[in-house]
Chains A and B, each alone.
Chain A
Amino acid sequence: MTYWGLNAFFLAAAVIVGAVALGVHLRRRRESNRLRNVSWIIAVAILLTMTAVFDNVMIGIGLVGYDASKISGVFVGIAPLEDFSYSVAALILLPSLWVLLPSRSRDRSNATTPTPEDSR
């Protein structure tokens, strides 16, 4: 199995959970989404940039090695592109779980009005 073959399995799992969460999120959509969208883009950019930097450092100092015959050969610096799948999966799976799990504030107040906890 290649590195992409392995990642496809886990990315698919994250995408399925993500699709369900997106459906739930859109149904209880709040008013302003521009702030959310801008924040999302910046957060994704930061995490992928950090992945590129630290993955290169980690491979550079020899924390991890790869079987050259099982990776695609596409690199960001010396980091295999496949490694970014971990960050992409984290960005999809974890916030999706946050959306899907029952929220603390829902039973206490209306879910559509942001609570002070949300805006802080």
Chain B
Amino acid sequence: MGVLYLLGLLIALTGMVVLDRRFQLFFWRDWRRAVVILPVGLAFFLAWDLLGIRQGIFFRGETSFMTGLQVARELPVEEPFFLALLCYLTMNLLAGLPLLVAAVDGRRGDERRGDERRRDERRGDERRRSGEDPGPRDARLGSSAKGTPR
């Protein structure tokens, strides 16, 4: 029971790593930047937490979902994992959404182009039938040979 929250965070973090690896979102996109950004983000939010705790604004809840271990006064061991998840999720989302939007957009574009192509083909058929379009070359030659009695 006491490891439930930590376990949930670790599972979610694993999901972030899997998505990152599959779609090259953060570490797999540019690990040199990621290895700086994640620790800096983590330090930034931990400082925020610690100041908030020192000011008595928020504090660790008494719950059976947490291990009860603390890395600092009122700062549960789970919190750095939560903050890492927040950072990783943010970067994965910001890198992943353009891929998702482009994929949806591209598919819609393909459909549109497909419709146009089909419409053009249909229009070409109609023109040929109504005589506007000379149609295939050999047919034109044939008709001109018959049509001009000179």
Binds A, one of B13-21, B60-68, B111-119, B135-143: B60-68
CB atoms of A10 and B44 under 8 A apart: yes
Given contacts A38-B101, A47-B93, A90-B90, A117 and B29 within 8 Å (CB-CB) = yes
Contacting residues, chain A, for B90 (C-beta < 8 A): 47, 87, 90-91, 94-95
CB atoms of A64 and B58 under 8 A apart: yes
Q: Of residues 80 to 120 in A, which have CB atoms within 8 Å of B's CB atoms?
A: 86-87, 89-91, 93-95, 97-98, 101-105, 117, 119-120
Q: What 1/0 flags go to B83-103 for Cβ under 8 Å of A?
A: 000110111011011111110
Task: Give the dominant DSSP class at A's interface.
Answer: helix
Question: Could you say which of B61, B93, B96 contacts A62, with CB atoms under 8 Å apart?
Answer: B61
Which residues of A are interface residues toward B (Cβ below 8 A)? 1-3, 6-7, 9-10, 13, 35-36, 38-40, 42-43, 46-47, 50, 61-67, 70-71, 86-87, 89-91, 93-95, 97-98, 101-105, 117, 119-120
Show 19 residue pairs from A and B whose CB-CB distance is below 8 angstroms, ordered by the A residue: A1-B55, A3-B58, A9-B51, A10-B48, A39-B101, A61-B63, A63-B65, A65-B60, A67-B57, A71-B57, A86-B86, A90-B41, A90-B45, A93-B41, A95-B91, A97-B40, A102-B33, A104-B30, A120-B99
